[in-house]
A and B are shown apart, each in its own frame.
Chain A
C-alpha cells in the first residue's frame, strides 16, 4: 500500500492529500516537526522534532513528567480526550499531518493501535476481545473472523495457551496473558503502528520478558513505539531511543547502542548513568 493510500485512510472525507506534506522518506512512518503540546498554560512538549522509522522498535525514555506519554498520545491524538490540551507544530503519519482538520481521529487510531500500562481486557471472552476491533470497523463480515483472531493471538504469542478456551473470560487470564491479549486486540485490525505505554511495568519479570520477546517479533510487521521507565528494557529491545528530559524537550534521538554507549548530550549521559534525576 502506498504512502498516499495510507494517508487517505485517515481522512473522513474525500480530500486530496497535498504531496508537499510528504517528507519523502520511505523509512519514516511517524514524523514530528516542532511539536509542542500544552495543558492549559503548562507546556508538556517543547518543539519536538523526530523521524521514527517504520518496522523498528523506538523507545522513549526520560524522567517522570518529561512528556514521554504526552508525545505517545499525540501520535494517535489520544490527547484530544484531555480538556485544555492544545497542540502546535506538526505530527505526520505517513506524510499526513494528523492534526489537519480533515483527519478523523477514530480512523487514525485504527492505523495506530495502543497498549496501556495495566492490562485492560474488556469484560468479554478472549475471542471477543480480539475480534472487537474488526467488528467495530465493520470488517467482521468481510474477513474470516476466526482466522484473523487466530492470526492476532499467534502474533501475540498467546495462541498456544488459549486456543482451547477462546470462550473463557479474558479477565480470568494471568496478568502477563492479559497484556498479551491486549496486544492481540491492538494488532487484530492490522495497524501500522503500535504504541505501548510502559506495557510491562505491572508485570512480573517472567511475564515482562515474554512481552519483550514479543515486541521484538512485532517489529517485523509493525512499527513499535514504547514508553518505558526501564532503561535496561529500552537497551534490550529497541533499535532507536529518544531521550526526553524535564520541560518536554527531546534532548537526543539516535541508535539505541549509541545512546547507551556514547551519547552526545551530557544531560543524557548524566541521566542514563544515574547522575541526574
Chain B
C-alpha cells in the first residue's frame, strides 16, 4: 500500500475523534448524575475539565487542516476528514452543554425535577450521541439513519416534558407552597435543562448527517 504514513494519520484521526467522543459522553453522564444529586464538587470538576475537551477539539481541527494542506486528500479520504472536522465541533458543543447541565444541577441542589422525569430524556440523548459515533467509527450509514430518525421522538418527549414542567408550576402556585421567585427559578432551570438535552440530540443528528456524507456521499441530512 502506498502512502503508509498518510494512511496511519487517517487511522489516528478516527481514533482521536472517537476517543474525544468517549470522553465527552463520560462527562455528559456525570452531568446527568449531578442533575439528580446536586453534587457541587462533581459539577465544578465537570466545568473545569471542559477546557480539556475544548483543547482536544482545537488539536483535532489542527490535525485535519494539516492533512488537508499536506496530503491533499480526495474522494472518501476527503469526505472522512471534512466530516471529522465538523463532527468534533458537535462534540465540543455537547461538552459545553454538559457543563450547562452540571451548573443547573449544582444550582438546584438535587431538587431539579419539577413535575417531569428528565432522566430518560437525558439517557436517550446520550445514547443517540454514542450510537452516532458508533456509526462514524464503523462507517455504518444504516445506523446513522436510524439514530437520526430517533430525534423526532426525543423532540416530542422534550416538548411533553416542558409542558409538564409548566403545568407543575401552575399547580404548585395554586397550592401556594413556594414563593413566585423560587418557582420561576426552578421552572426556568428545568426548561433550560430540557432544551439542552434536546440540543444534544440535535448534535447527534449532525454527527449522523456528516457520517452519511462520509460513507455514502449522501447529503440528505445536511441540508
Q: Indicate whether A122 reaches chain B with its CB closer than 8 angstroms.
A: no
A residues in contact with B79, CB < 8 Å = 261-262
A273 near B1 with CB under 8 A, answer no
Closest to A272 in B: B74
Which chain A residues (229-277) contact chain B, with CB distance < 8 Å? 231-232, 235, 260-263, 268-269, 272-277
* A269 in complex: contacting residue of B1, B3, B76, CB < 8 Å: B76
Chain A residues, CB < 8 A from B6: 274
CB nearest to A258 among chain B residues:
B217
Which of chain A's residues has its CB closest to B7's CB?
A275
- A272 pairs with B72, CB closer than 8 A: no
Distance of A179 Cα from B50 Cα, bound (Å):
57
Q: Is B75 an interface residue (CB 8 A)?
A: yes
The size of the chain A interface, using a CB distance under 8 A, is 15
Q: Which residues of A contact B115 (CB under 8 A)?
A: none
Are A273 and B75 CB-contacts (below 8 A) given A261-B217, A262-B217? Answer: yes
Complex CA–CA separation, A58 to B6 (angstroms): 29
Q: With an 8 A cutoff between CB atoms, is B110 at the interface? A: no
Q: Is the CB of A273 within 8 A of B72?
A: no
Q: Given A274-B2, A275-B2, A276-B2, are A261 and B74 neighbors across the interface (CB < 8 Å)? A: yes
Q: Which residues does chain A contribute within 8 Å of B217, judged by CB atoms?
A: 261-262
Residue ID in chain B nearest A276 by CB atoms: B2
> Can you sample 8 A-B contacts with CB below 8 Å?
A261-B74, A262-B217, A268-B75, A273-B73, A273-B77, A274-B2, A275-B2, A277-B2
| Cα separation A231 to B73 with both chains bound (whole Å) | 11
Question: Which residues of chain B come closer than 8 Å to A262, judged between CB atoms?
Answer: 75-76, 79, 217
Contact, CB under 8 Å: A232 / B72: yes
Q: Which residues from chain B sit less than 8 Å from chain A, CB to CB?
A: 1-3, 6-7, 72-79, 217
A269 with B75, Cβ < 8 A, contacts A261-B217, A262-B217, A275-B7 known? yes
A276 to B75, CA, bound (A): 14
| Residues of B contacting A232 in the complex (Cβ-Cβ under 8 angstroms) | 72
Please give 17 more A-B residue pairs, beta carbons under 8 A apart, in addition to A231-B74, A262-B76, A272-B74.
A235-B74, A260-B74, A261-B74, A261-B75, A261-B217, A262-B79, A262-B217, A269-B76, A273-B73, A273-B76, A273-B77, A274-B2, A274-B3, A275-B1, A275-B2, A275-B7, A276-B2
**A273 / chain B contacts, CB cutoff of 8 Å:** 73-77
Sorted from nearest, which 6 A-B pairs have the closest CB atoms? Answer: A262-B217, A274-B3, A260-B74, A273-B77, A274-B2, A272-B74
A263→B72 CA distance, assembly (Å)? 16
Residue of B nearest to A262 (CB): B217
Residue of A nearest to B78 (CB): A261
List, in ascending order, chain B residues with CB within 8 A of A269's CB. 75-76
CA of A269 to CA of B79, assembled, Å: 12
Chain B residue at minimal CB-CB distance from A268: B75
Report A-chain residues with C-beta under 8 Å of the C-beta of B72. 232
Give CA–CA (A272, B77) in the complex, Å.
10
The complex places the Cα of A261 from the Cα of B76 at a distance, in Å, of 7
Q: Which residues of A contact B73 (CB under 8 A)?
A: 273
> In the assembly, what is the distance between CA of A177 and CA of B119, in Å?
72
Does B78 contact A260, Cβ atoms closer than 8 Å? yes
Give the residue name and chain of the B residue nearest to A275 (CB).
B1
The reply to whether A272 and B75 contact each other, CB–CB distance below 8 Å, is yes
CB contacts (< 8 Å) of A231 on chain B: these are 74
Looking at the assembled complex, report how far the CB atom of A219 sits from the nearest CB atom of chain B, in whole angstroms. Answer: 22
Q: How far is the CB of A229 from chain B (nearest CB, A)?
A: 14
Residue picked from B1, B7, B75, B217, most chain A C-beta under 10 Å: B75
- How many angstroms between the C-alpha atoms of A276 and B79 in the bound complex? 19
Question: Which residues from chain B contact A260 at a C-beta distance below 8 Å?
Answer: 74-75, 78
Contacts of B77 in A (CB 8 A): 273
> How many angstroms from the CA of A268 to the CA of B72 in the assembled complex?
16
A274's nearest neighbour on chain B, judged by CB, is: B3
Contacting residues, chain B, for A268 (C-beta < 8 A): 75
Give the Cβ gap from B11 to chain A, nearest Cβ, in Å. 13
B78 cross-chain contacts in A, Cβ below 8 A: 260-261
CB distance from A120 to the nearest CB of B (A): 30
Chain A nearest Cβ from B70, distance in angstroms? 12
Q: Which of A113-166 contact B (CB under 8 A)?
A: none
**Is A263 a contact partner of B75 (Cβ separation < 8 A)?**
yes
A58 CB to nearest B CB, Å: 18
CA–CA, A204 to B192, complex, Å? 59
Q: With A and B bound together, what is the CA distance between A231 and B6 in angstroms?
A: 17
Specify the chain A residue showing the minimal Cβ separation from B76.
A269
Residues of B within 8 A of A277 (CB): 2
